[in-house]
């Protein structure tokens, strides 16, 4: 049988996990694939800094849903485990509250029952019922949205019908459904902060986003041995094995088109020379809004239609090498705002920097001693903050001031004299994130999840303007987070193969 990609070429713009997943799957269908990446490394936000014996994962630190990566690595006698070694973490999160309460979130049900027993017997029952509800939300969303790659509300209705969608919790906000089901104030904060995976507000997101706890509890929370960047190295190997032509230091500056079709790209290489590459299909791992604006010069009318796919939150990202270890930290920790709803309102509605941020703190040496020298520690601090607002921008000094607020908070909540123990520091602002990865206004997680603006849908994977232009990554369905962007790459490879067959 003739293979879908025979004699057909594809240019992929960007070597994030979305772009690389698409490139590998297309090469396996015999397309001739060229992958152009502006930076000198593959992985996009999955990035690494090694300095003075410390190894910092600059981007993602939590690996979930390994099954969504398997198709990229498996199918020709290989297994995902031939490329990376996964370690399951439990407790999954340690949660610190301003009143001194510390609560661990365990995958192990008996450990969780014991953890919650101090609040009274009904609290575990509420927790278990909430997980059953979370599982149901996940199952519905997985069936169509994730497995079939649904892209529009119309496709959604056609797949599910009104009857099947009945169990989907879409009338309330995520917070509303948590408050209805959970009476314990600490657990409420923990479940609401699952929205961190998509950089949005639990008060603005539809309730079916409560599917997220099920992802961790049903399929585990994992560490990639040696650091998350090992996943980028694994992808690099897979690109080589599948024959993808990878060109680093190549920034695409224009997508060429004729009428309703794109015909290739113009890229600038590391020496500044222009390179033109023709292609039958173009896949952009650059987010939809910046790509349409900068690479295609889309008119105002098109940009207006895309407005509802505005950016998720950005962040300041602080990596610290410490000359001591704080034993109270687990691998993944959250230090909550005193009033989480005030925090959500301030960051997501009022677009202000937080004055009492919720902090995600990662300490990978709890699992992997290779990440810091003996007796030292390596921590990442990540508060969520508004994306860059060009009309009313924050300055680097504002972000530095916020970093000091974060360190004050951690010192107040138990990391005594943290400042004094810093021996290495690396600091990213939204301006750095935007410049390095070309993300929309420094977004970390693609498109905002907002029930009034987009009902948690992201942009469609196939361009509505050009029939042979496709998008992958956090700005298209099913959205951000490593497993989701890997899935978008696989769906786009299938869509292109189908189109190529139809056009043959
Ligand atoms: C600090 C931080 C923490 C995170 N934590 C987690 C986590 O714990 N778990 C999780 O699952 N996810 C996490 N995420 C989110 C996750 O990193 C992203 O959702 C995912 O990696 C995005 O992949 P992507 O393919 O959409 O794009 P990206 O990783 O952004 O890759 C896009 C690539 O395209 C390149 N590019 C863009 N424009 C051009 C152009 N014109 N020419 C050539 N190349 C171009 C960029 O340089 C980049 O390499 C985190 C992100 C950050 C920043």
Q: How many alpha carbons fall within 13 Å on the CB side of residue 300?
A: 0
Predicted confidence (pLDDT) at residue 92 exceeds the cutoff of 60: yes
Please name the residue that has the structure tokens 């962040």: 315
Q: How far does the centroid of ligand 1 lie from the alpha carbon of residue 365, in Å?
A: 24
* Residue 75: per-residue pLDDT: 87
> In Å, what is the CA distance from 455 to each residue of 155, 164, 174, 210, 302?
14, 18, 12, 14, 20
Residue 456 Ramachandran class (φ > 0 left, ψ -120 to 50 alpha, else beta): left
d(CA 456, CA 299): 25
d(CA 401, CA 492): 42
Taking CA atoms only, the protein residue closest to ligand 1 atom 26 is 473
Contacts 24+ apart (CB under 8 A), 259-263: 260/465, 260/466, 260/467, 261/466, 261/467, 261/468, 262/466, 262/468, 262/469
At 160-199, the pLDDT tens digits run 887 667 889 999 999 999 999 999 999 999 999 999 999 9
d(CA 441, CA 1): 46
Instruction: State whether the beta carbon of 44 lies less than 6 angstroms from ligand 1.
Output: yes
Taking CA atoms only, the protein residue closest to ligand 1 atom 12 is 481
Q: Which DSSP letter does residue 337 get?
A: -
Taking CA atoms only, the protein residue closest to ligand 1 atom 16 is 481
d(CA 448, CA 458): 8
Torsion of CA 115, 214, 211, 145, to 10 degrees: 170
* Residue 43: per-residue pLDDT: 98
> Which of 327, 319, 393, 314 has the alpha carbon at shortest distance from 357?
314
Please name the residue that has the structure tokens 């699952």: 194
Grade residue 44 by pLDDT with cuts at 50, 70 and 90. Answer: very high
Please give the backbone phi and psi of residue 229, each rounded to the nearest 5 degrees, phi first.
-65, -20
With beta carbons less than 8 A apart as the criterion, state whether 37 and 250 touch. Answer: yes
Q: What b-and-e string marks burial along 405-421, b requiring 16 or more CB atoms within 10 Å of the CB?
A: ebbebbeebebeebeeb
Q: How far does the centroid of ligand 1 lie from the alpha carbon of residue 124, in Å?
A: 37
* Residue 157: per-residue pLDDT: 86
* Residue 1: per-residue pLDDT: 52
d(CA 423, CA 446): 33
* Residue 47: per-residue pLDDT: 97
Q: Is 365 helix (H, G, I), strand (E, B) or coil?
A: helix
Pocket test for ligand 1, best of 17, 25, 36, 59 (most atoms within 8 A of CB): 59
Predicted confidence (pLDDT) at residue 249 exceeds the cutoff of 60: yes
Q: Is 485 exposed, middle or buried (0-12, 13-18, 19+ CB in 10 A)?
A: buried
Please name the residue that has the structure tokens 């603005």: 204
* Residue 247: per-residue pLDDT: 98
At 146-169, the pLDDT tens digits run 999 999 888 988 998 876 678 899
Predicted confidence (pLDDT) at residue 314 exceeds the cutoff of 60: yes
d(CA 64, CA 69): 10
With beta carbons less than 8 A apart as the criterion, state whether 26 and 491 touch. Answer: no
d(CA 323, CA 330): 18
Pocket test for ligand 1, best of 12, 16, 21, 236 (most atoms within 8 A of CB): 16
Q: Hey, how many other C-beta atoms are within 10 angstroms of the C-beta on 14?
A: 29
> In Å, what is the CA distance from 105 to each residue of 98, 348, 406?
17, 26, 23
Residues of the chain by 3-state class (helix, strand, coil), percent to 5: 40, 20, 40
Grade residue 121 by pLDDT with cuts at 50, 70 and 90. Answer: confident
Predicted confidence (pLDDT) at residue 134 exceeds the cutoff of 90: yes
Instruction: Work out the average pLDDT over 320-347.
Output: 98
User: What does 9-67 look like in DSSP terms, one character per residue?
Assistant: EEEEE--BHHHHHHHHHHHHTT-EEEEE-SSSSSBTTS-EEEETTEEEE-S---B--GG
> Which of 474, 463, 475 has the alpha carbon at shortest distance from 281?
463
> Which of 446, 468, 470, 451 has the alpha carbon at shortest distance from 460?
470
Q: Which residues pair with 11 in a beta bridge?
A: 34, 282
Q: How far does the centroid of ligand 1 lie from the alpha carbon of residue 487, in Å?
A: 14
* Residue 267: per-residue pLDDT: 98
| Sign of CA pseudo-dihedral 59, 321, 383, 39 | negative
Instruction: Work out the average pLDDT over 431-436.
Output: 98
Instruction: State whether the beta carbon of 319 lies less than 6 angstroms from ligand 1.
Output: no
Give the tokens for residue 30: 């015999």
pTM greater than 0.75: yes
With beta carbons less than 8 A apart as the criterion, state whether 485 and 17 touch. Answer: yes
H/E stretch holding 114 reads helix 109-117
Instruction: State whether the beta carbon of 485 lies less than 6 angstroms from ligand 1.
Output: yes
Taking CA atoms only, the protein residue closest to ligand 1 atom 36 is 14
Mean pLDDT computed over every residue of the chain: 96
Atom of ligand 1 nearest to the CA of 20: 25
Please name the residue that has the structure tokens 């990440």: 371
Taking CA atoms only, the protein residue closest to ligand 1 atom 32 is 16
Pocket test for ligand 1, best of 14, 295, 426 (most atoms within 8 A of CB): 14
Q: Which residues pair with 422 in a beta bridge?
A: 322
* Residue 2: per-residue pLDDT: 58
Atom of ligand 1 nearest to the CA of 19: 25
Give the tokens for residue 434: 């935007």
Q: Is 185 exposed, middle or buried (0-12, 13-18, 19+ CB in 10 A)?
A: middle
Contacts 24+ apart (CB under 8 A), 180-188: 181/126, 181/129, 181/130, 181/133, 182/126, 182/127, 182/130, 183/122, 183/123, 183/126, 184/116, 184/119, 184/123, 184/126, 186/95, 186/97, 186/101, 186/103, 186/119, 187/103, 187/116, 187/123, 187/126, 187/127
Pocket test for ligand 1, best of 44, 69, 492 (most atoms within 8 A of CB): 44
């Amino acid at each position: 049988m003739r293979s879908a990609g025979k004699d057909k070429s594809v240019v992929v713009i960007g070597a994030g996990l979305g772009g690389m997943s698409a490139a590998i799957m297309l090469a396996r269908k015999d397309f001739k694939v060229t992958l152009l990446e502006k930076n000198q490394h593959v992985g996009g936000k999955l990035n690494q800094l090694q300095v003075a014996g410390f190894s910092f994962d600059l981007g993602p630190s939590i690996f979930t849903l390994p099954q969504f990566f398997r198709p990229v690595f498996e199918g020709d006698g290989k297994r995902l485990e031939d490329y990376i070694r996964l370690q399951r973490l439990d407790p999954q999160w340690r949660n610190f509250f301003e009143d001194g309460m510390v609560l661990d979130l365990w995958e192990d049900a008996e450990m969780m029952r014991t953890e919650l027993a101090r609040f009274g017997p009904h609290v575990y029952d509420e927790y278990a019922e909430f997980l059953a509800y979370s599982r149901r939300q996940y199952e519905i969303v997985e069936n169509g949205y994730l497995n079939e790659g649904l892209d529009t509300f119309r496709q959604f209705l056609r797949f599910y019908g009104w009857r099947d969608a009945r169990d989907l919790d879409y009338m309330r906000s995520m917070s509303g459904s948590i408050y209805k089901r959970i009476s314990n104030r600490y657990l409420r904060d923990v479940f609401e902060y699952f929205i961190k995976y998509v950089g949005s507000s639990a008060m603005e997101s539809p309730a079916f986003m409560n599917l997220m706890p099920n992802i961790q509890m049903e399929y585990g929370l994992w560490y990639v041995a040696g650091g998350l960047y090992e996943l980028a190295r694994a992808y690099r190997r897979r690109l080589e094995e599948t024959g993808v032509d990878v060109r680093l230091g190549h920034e695409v500056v224009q997508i060429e088109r004729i009428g309703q079709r794109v015909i290739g790209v113009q890229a600038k290489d590391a020496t500044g020379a222009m390179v033109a590459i023709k292609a039958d299909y173009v896949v952009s791992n650059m987010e939809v809004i910046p790509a349409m604006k900068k690479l295609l010069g889309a008119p105002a009318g098109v940009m207006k239609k895309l407005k509802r796919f505005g950016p998720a939150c950005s962040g300041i990202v602080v990596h610290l090498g410490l000359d001591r270890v704080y034993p109270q930290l687990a691998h993944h920790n959250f230090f909550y705002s005193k009033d989480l709803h005030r925090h959500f309102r301030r960051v997501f509605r009022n677009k202000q920097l937080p004055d009492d941020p919720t902090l995600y703190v990662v300490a990978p040496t709890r699992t992997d001693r290779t990440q810091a020298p003996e007796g030292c520690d390596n921590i990442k601090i990540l508060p969520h903050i508004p994306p860059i607002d060009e009309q009313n921008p924050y300055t680097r000094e504002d972000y530095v001031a916020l970093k000091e607020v974060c360190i004050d908070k951690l010192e107040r909540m138990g990391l005594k004299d943290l400042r004094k123990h810093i021996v290495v520091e690396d600091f990213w602002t939204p301006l750095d994130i935007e410049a390095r990865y070309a993300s929309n206004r420094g977004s970390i997680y693609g498109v905002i999840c907002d029930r009034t603006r987009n009902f948690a849908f992201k942009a469609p994977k196939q361009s509505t303007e050009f029939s042979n232009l496709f998008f992958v990554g956090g700005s298209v369905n099913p959205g951000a987070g490593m497993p989701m962007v890997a899935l978008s790459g696989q769906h786009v490879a299938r869509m292109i193969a189908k189109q190529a067959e139809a056009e043959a």
